Amino acid sequence: MINLEGKEVAMAHREKIKREIEEQGIEAGLAVILVGDDPASKSYVASKEKACREAGIRSIVFQLKKETSEEEVLKKIEELNLDASITGILVQIPLPDHIDENRVVEKIDPWKDVDGLHPFNFGKLFMGNSVVEPCTPKGIIHVLDHYKIDLAGKNAVVLGRSNIVGKPIAALLLQRNATVTICHSKTKNLKELSLSADILVAAIGKPLFVTAEMVKEGAVVIDVGINRIEDKTKLSGYRVVGDVDFESVSRKASAITPVPGGVGLLTIAMLLDNTLTLARIQQAKAA
Ligand code: NDP
């Protein structure tokens, strides 16, 4: 069984980005908007900020109160769209319920959309003509490529259909000639479908949901889930687990990503990658 370690792959990619930024004198500036004080979101934003700093990307975090109105968020995005020193904009999702995520994402200048979620970028992704791809799916493909896992003709089953993970990873797997099935909460024969998977991607946000009896012998399993479950033995009172029961599934899978230390680290590396791509485009436009 291969442990698809994200750490080594992600760190190597981050080093490469850092070198390119230095050598090519790229001035990248990432603005991150965080609305509210959800502890998980705050910790993701802190990790993204640190990664930017280490790569030589200037990052500014706008921490807005939970009560901030949708109009105020849209106004902030408009300002950042017009600010030439900002080459990338990221709005940390989820947003509070009173803010429409779609309206927010659509407000971002598509050429500053480092998450690749604007309809322009999402459309290009599905046309196989992407500029930037959503970070988590891009990270998954990156790790599969690194470990030379061939996708052509394979049955790929994606659990989850969110815009941020499920739909875009399905599009990328399809581009790599996998035969793709997308499952969601209304799927009736989920176990049967997941058992048919040569490549199984779990992105549903349910701790340890995928167990060994749902996985085919020799399958490649990608665990996207990041779930906090209570653990009184930890100082923090919780521990982080994926959507996959690693212990049982790793005995059947031919390869599996661990949580933590898998897809999450790749997501951050791909955020830097997208930030660099868009900064380059803007630098070229301004020249
Ligand atoms: P969402 O809540 O947006 O989507 C969850 C999806 O799972 C939905 O499509 C939902 O179906 C489906 N689902 C929920 N329950 C079931 C079920 N019992 N059976 C089948 N499908 C089900 O989640 P995200 O995509 O944003 O995130 C998923 C997980 O990945 C979370 O743990 C999140 O923290 C993690 N994540 C990790 C990232 C990383 O960098 N590693 C990045 C982003 C997310 P329906 O559409 O019908 O409601």
Q: In this structure, what CATH number is given to the domain that contains residue 227?
A: 3.40.50.720
pLDDT at 218: 98
pLDDT at 14: 98
266 Cα nearest atom in ligand 1 = 40
Spatial distance between the Cα atoms of 249 and 7, rounded to a whole number of angstroms: 21
pLDDT at 46: 97
Are residues 206 and 251 located together in one domain of the fold?
yes
Are residues 150 and 256 located together in one domain of the fold?
yes
Range of the domain at 45: 25-109
- Ligand 1 atom 39 nearest Cα: 264
Are residues 147 and 104 located together in one domain of the fold?
no
pLDDT at 286: 86
Instruction: Outline where DSSP puts E strands in the chain.
Output: 2-3, 29-35, 58-64, 88-91, 155-159, 179-183, 199-202, 220-223, 227-230, 238-241, 255-256
Angstrom distances, CA of residue 34 to CA of 61, 67, 162, 170:
7, 12, 20, 27
Are residues 69 and 149 located together in one domain of the fold?
no
pLDDT at 285: 87
The verdict on residue 142 lying in a domain is: yes
pLDDT at 59: 97
Residues annotated catalytic, as ranges = 48, 92, 115
Q: In this structure, what CATH number is given to the domain that contains residue 57?
A: 3.40.50.10860
What is the total count of domains within the chain?
Answer: 2
Low-confidence ranges of the chain (pLDDT < 70): none
Residue 203 CA to ligand 1 center (angstroms) comes to: 5
pTM: 0.97
Are residues 259 and 149 located together in one domain of the fold?
yes
Are residues 100 and 173 located together in one domain of the fold?
no
The verdict on residue 226 lying in a domain is: yes
The verdict on residue 37 lying in a domain is: yes
Tell me what percent of the chain is helix, strand and coil, each rounded to the nearest 5. 45, 20, 40
Q: Is the CB of 263 under 6 A from ligand 1?
A: yes
pLDDT at 109: 98
